[in-house]
Amino acid sequence: MPSSRGRLIRGLCALLVVGGLSPLTAAAADGAGPRAGTAGERPAADRPAADWRIDLADRSADQHNIRHRTDGGLTIGDRRTRTPSAPGKAFAVYTAPARSLGRQADTFTVAPKAEVPSGTQLLTEVRGSAHPGRWTQWTTPDSAGRLRLAEAVSVLQVRLTLFGTGSASPIVSAVSVHADPARSAARAETGTAAAASVTYRLFATREGLTGQTTANGHVIQPRDHFVALPSRRMLASNGGREYQVRLCYARTGRCETAPVWDVGPWNTQDDYWNPPAQRQMWRDLPQGTPEAQAAYQSGYNGGLDEFGRRVANPAGIDLADGTFWDGLGMTDNDWVDVTFQPTDDGGGGQTTVTAWAQANVRACASTSCEIKSTVYPNQTYPANCWKTGQLVTAEGYTNDKWVELPLSAGGVGYVSGIYLKGDATGGVTRECGT
C-alpha cells in the first residue's frame, strides 16, 4: 500500500492505547465480497484515577445477550440463550472498554454490587496490558475482590459473565475498581501473564455445534475458524485475536493459526499451559498435560472431569469445523501440535496473514489468472513470501504486492496484498525468490 497510507495508519495508531481500527468501507477490485469489521479493544477516554466505577450503560462495550435496566444495571437479556461451556445455564457477557490508568499498577480490588439469586452466578475477570496488543491472561479476583497481575500494567479491562436459570438472573448494579501503585516485589502466582510461546502435543476433537454460541458470544458459523481451550484465561473477545494458538497436523503437513473463542472440552478451569503453581485446578499434573488426558489415559481424578463426568477421550482442545477440515485437513479426531501464543512463523520460513475482506487467491499475481481459492474476512492463513504483480485498486488505494499462500490441494496461489491487514504485504517480510 502507498507510503501515505502507512503514515496515516501509524499516526492513528499513535493515538490509541490498545486495540485497532475497524474497517469502514466495502471492498472493490479483485475482492470477492463485502468488507467485514474487525474487533479491537476500545481504550477509555476517562481521566486517570486510582478509583473509578465502570460505566455499565456504555453501549460501546463488547456485550452479548445483555439487557440494560432502566436503573442503570445489567442482567441477562434472554434466559433461553445457552452456551455449550455452561450446559443448562442462561448466559450473557459484558466486557467493559479498556481503561487507561495513566500510570503503572499491578494490584487491584474489583467490587461488583450485584444480586445473585440461588442457582445463578456472576463471574468477574480482569486483564491488563503494558504494551499495545499484548494482554495478561484473564484473572479472577479472590473472595475479597483482590488480585495481583503478573506484571505492572497501564491499561485494565474487566469482563462480567452472568449465568442464570430459566427463572432467575444475576443483576449487576455497579462495579468499582481500585488500583494500587505497582510494587517492585516478585509477582504473585495468581496473576498469570500471557502464555509463553510453547508447543504441546494434544488430542484435538471437532467442536461442530453450528448455530450455537461460544463462551465469548460468537455465534458459530458453518466451517468456522477458531478453537476452544478448557479455561477462560485465554478466551479472546468476540471476533478478537488477543489469544491464539498455532496448530500443525503431521499427517497432512498443514498448519493454521486460530483464535481462542470458546471454553472446553470437558473442563472449564484447566489452564494446563501454565506452570502447575499458577494452574487453576489440578496443580499436581505436569505443565502441558490436560486433566482430561490424564483422566482418560491413567484414571486421574477417578477418570472424571471437574463436573464428575466420565472422560471419554483425552481431548485438550476443540477445533471449529473450518479449522478442523479446511485448515488442517483432518478427517477424524487426532493428535496435533499446538503452539500457545505463537510469536513467530513456527519455522520453515512461513508466516501468517489475516484478510480484511473476502478475496480471490489466483494462480499468478494477476486478476487475469485462474481462481484457485478464497480468503475470508478476519481469517488467518499461512503465507510464504510476497512478489510484485498487477496493480490492484480498492477504496482509492493501489497496491502491486501479491502474497504467496500454500494451497490445501497442493501448490501455491497469490492474493493481492491490498486485501490483507497490515502493510502492503500483510506483514510478510520475505520476497519470493530470496
| pLDDT, position 22 | 29
| pLDDT, position 189 | 44
Core vs surface per residue 212-241: b (16+ CB within 10 A) or e: ebbbbbbebeeebbbbbbbbbbbbbbbbbb
What phi and psi values does residue 357 have, to the nearest 5 degrees? -145, 160
Considering only the C-alpha atoms of the chain, give the largest distance between any 2 of them, rounded to a whole number of Å: 65
Cell (9 digits) for 342: 505463537
Cell (9 digits) for 126: 480482569
Q: Phi-psi bin for 10: left (phi > 0), alpha (psi -120 to 50), beta?
A: alpha
Give dist(CA 264, CA 86) in Å, integer.
10
Query: What mean pLDDT comes out for the span 320-336?
Result: 93
Percent of the chain with pLDDT over 70: 80
Give dist(CA 410, CA 48) in Å, integer.
53
pLDDT band at 407 (very low <50, low <70, confident <90, very high): confident
Contacts of 323 (CB under 8 A, 6+ apart): 224, 225, 226, 227, 247, 256, 258
Give dist(CA 153, CA 156) in Å, integer.
7
Give dist(CA 235, CA 228) in Å, integer.
8
Give dist(CA 318, CA 325) in Å, integer.
13
Residue type, 407: L
0.75 exceeded by the pTM?
A: no
pLDDT band at 354 (very low <50, low <70, confident <90, very high): confident
Residue type, 248: C
- CA-to-CA dists, residue 176 to 75, 93, 124, angstroms: 17, 18, 12
pLDDT band at 239 (very low <50, low <70, confident <90, very high): confident
pLDDT band at 390 (very low <50, low <70, confident <90, very high): very high
Q: What is the dihedral of CA 296, 297, 303, 306, to 10 degrees?
A: -60
Q: For residue 38, is pLDDT > 80?
A: no
CA 349 to chain centre: 25
pLDDT band at 177 (very low <50, low <70, confident <90, very high): very high
pLDDT, tens only, 104-138: 889 999 999 999 999 999 999 999 988 766 789 99
Give dist(CA 347, CA 426) in Å, integer.
18
| pLDDT, position 164 | 94
Cell (9 digits) for 174: 455497579
As a whole number, the mean pLDDT across the chain is 82
Query: What mean pLDDT comes out for the span 10-30?
Result: 37
Percent of the chain with pLDDT over 90: 52
- CA-to-CA dists, residue 275 to 197, 289, 335, angstroms: 13, 11, 22
Cell (9 digits) for 167: 427463572
Core vs surface per residue 360-395: b (16+ CB within 10 A) or e: bbbbbbeeebeebbebbbbbbbbbbbbbebbebebb
| pLDDT, position 341 | 74
Query: What mean pLDDT comes out for the span 400-415?
Result: 85
